[in-house]
Amino acid sequence: MNQRETLKINDKGHLEIGGADAEELVKQFGTPLYVMDKAYIGQMCITLTSALKKEYGSGLISYASKAFCCKEIYRIIEDYGMGADVVSGGELYTAKESGFPMDKITFHGNNKSFTELTEAVLCGVQHIVIDSLGEAEDLEEICAANGTVQNVLIRVNPGVEAHTHHFIQTAKQDSKFGFSLTDGSAEDIINSVIKKPHLKLCGLHCHIGSQIFEIKSFCIAVEKMTDFYKKISDELGISFSVLNLGGGFGIHYAEGDPILKLSDYYDFVKTICDKLKTCLKEKGLEKPYLILEPGRSVVGEAGVTLYTAGRIKEIKGIKNYVAIDGGMFDNPRFALYQARYTVAAAAKMLLKPVKKYTIAGKCCESGDIIAEDCMLPEIEERDIIAVFSTGAYNYSMASNYNRNPVPPVVFAENGKAYYAVKPQTYKDIARNDV
């Protein structure tokens, strides 16, 4: 647990999120429950936007919606003057319904459908990021039919290996995303896009991975991207006005992960900006509009999931299982890639940890685990179990597996909490069944 003013232990020895006692939240809203510390999200937004503004100038912090997507987060992001990136028609729809400005939307994806591309063009999104020749051709056709010119970026793969779990790395040479900078395929797609009258090529995009703490990997990406901008400028006479470097800043999940302060995130952005300014100067390039796309870091540590402990199974000499009323349907990240989490008993925060527990979900899958080997006080049925850093890639990855309803999301601030996403009902789950 990365303690702060809005995530701490109160006088009763209970966990407090956004000024609200976890036990009170559970009384009011039940479990499982996603709780978001609204103030922390605001602080992250201010930190990242002010760093980009002060250390670089012209650019945009574009929140990666896929980390956590609902109307309320778009309203918050908009309040801080940020942009957003979307990766599907569904995210685009949610942003639009929330009233989010479409001219601050970037649309990504390795396999956008004709329908999704059409929707994005009609909405007037700021940039569509092209990931294949077929997509460029579809997009040209759509724009010609609608008499519009669409600003586009091209997704490239700078081949930087970021330090993280390999399943969530996306920019090695072997990737389903983007055009390689080294085998001529990036030049080919550039040459083909610039010939299309309804596409305006503004620049390139890369995303080197996720949960990155090694800021040097971003600096290498900046180096490679600006080398390529220089090459394109020299060989094709094209100067790009936009550079999008993607997201990927890491957060604290569990022991062993660095614990970062807001000022550390400021420094991440500053380091990238400084590196970029140096490279531009060295290579004699114009200063492009810089887009960064953090997702996890904006919402991840803001989130805490609250569960109620159910049956406890102690297998002598092997393991102690605590079964909770949630599981892989609200948080599939352990099942997907053995993600690690910090767990606490929310009303026993001051009691000594005495026993090792594995937190198991209620789904019919042996792999339905939330966290292994958690040192906790003696756990009893009905205890509140809190899992930290669940604000990113939890609600957005939730499912109705075993026909469990997706839990609601509340935002907590100054001791009060309100629904951002209401609880799903059984009726909701069966709504489209014929």
Ligand X SMILES: *Cc1c(COP(=O)(O)O)cnc(C)c1O
Catalytic positions: 364
Q: Residue 217 CB, nearest distance to ligand X (Å)? A: 12
Q: What is the identity of the amino acid at 50?
A: S
Instruction: CB nearer to ligand X: give 31 or 47.
Output: 47
Is residue 207 part of the contact set for ligand X (CB under 6 A)? yes
Q: Using CA atoms, how far apart are residues 233 and 229, in angstroms rounded to an integer?
A: 6
Is residue 104 part of the contact set for ligand X (CB under 6 A)? no
- Residue 187 phi/psi, 5-degree rounding, is -60, -40
Is residue 294 part of the contact set for ligand X (CB under 6 A)? yes
CA atoms within 13 A of residue 143's CA, in its CB half-sphere: 21
CA atoms within 13 A of residue 262's CA, in its CB half-sphere: 18
Residue 111: which of 89, 85, 143 has the closest Cα? 89
Q: Residue 79 CB, nearest distance to ligand X (Å)? A: 20
Is residue 64 part of the contact set for ligand X (CB under 6 A)? yes
Q: Which of 31, 118, 210, 331 binds ligand X (CB under 6 A)?
A: 210
Let me know: does 64 contact 294? Beta carbons within 8 Å.
Answer: yes
Tell me, by CB under 6 A, how many residues bind ligand X: 16
Q: Residue 67 CB, nearest distance to ligand X (Å)? A: 5
Q: Residue 209 CB, nearest distance to ligand X (Å)? A: 8
Instruction: CB nearer to ligand X: give 104 or 108.
Output: 108
Q: Which of 248, 288, 303, 408 binds ligand X (CB under 6 A)?
A: 248
Cα dihedral across residues 168, 172, 176, 180: positive or negative:
positive
Q: Which of 89, 178, 247, 303 binds ligand X (CB under 6 A)?
A: 247
Residue 184: which of 156, 152, 226, 222 has the closest Cα? 156
Let me know: does 51 contact 266? Beta carbons within 8 Å.
Answer: yes
Q: Residue 389 CB, nearest distance to ligand X (Å)? A: 12
- Report the first-to-last Cα separation within the chain, whole angstroms: 45
Let me know: does 383 contact 15? Beta carbons within 8 Å.
Answer: no
Is residue 83 part of the contact set for ligand X (CB under 6 A)? no
Instruction: CB nearer to ligand X: give 107 or 357.
Output: 107
Is residue 295 part of the contact set for ligand X (CB under 6 A)? yes
Q: Using CA atoms, how far apart are residues 71 and 90, in angstroms rounded to an integer?
A: 12
Site of tokens 């040209």 = 140
Instruction: CB nearer to ligand X: give 332 or 361.
Output: 332
Q: What angle do CA 279, 283, 285 make, to 5 degrees?
A: 90
Instruction: CB nearer to ligand X: give 88 or 278.
Output: 88
Alpha helix (H) ranges present in 204-332? 215-236, 262-283, 296-299
From the list 270-278, 295-303, 380-388, 424-432, the region that binds ligand X by CB under 6 A is 295-303
Q: Using CA atoms, how far apart are residues 226 and 215, in angstroms rounded to an integer?
A: 17
From the list 18-26, 31-39, 114-122, 290-298, the region that binds ligand X by CB under 6 A is 290-298
Q: Which of 127, 224, 296, 362 binds ligand X (CB under 6 A)?
A: 296
From the list 183-191, 241-249, 307-315, 332-340, the region that binds ligand X by CB under 6 A is 241-249
Instruction: CB nearer to ligand X: give 294 or 407.
Output: 294
Q: Residue 276 CB, nearest distance to ligand X (Å)? A: 17
DSSP annotation of 4 reads B
Q: Which of 19, 178, 246, 326 binds ligand X (CB under 6 A)?
A: 246
Let me know: does 133 contact 192? Beta carbons within 8 Å.
Answer: yes
Instruction: CB nearer to ligand X: give 139 or 251.
Output: 251
Is residue 394 part of the contact set for ligand X (CB under 6 A)? no
Which spans of this chain sit near ligand X (rule: CB under 6 A)?
A: 64, 66-67, 85, 108, 207, 210, 246-249, 293-297
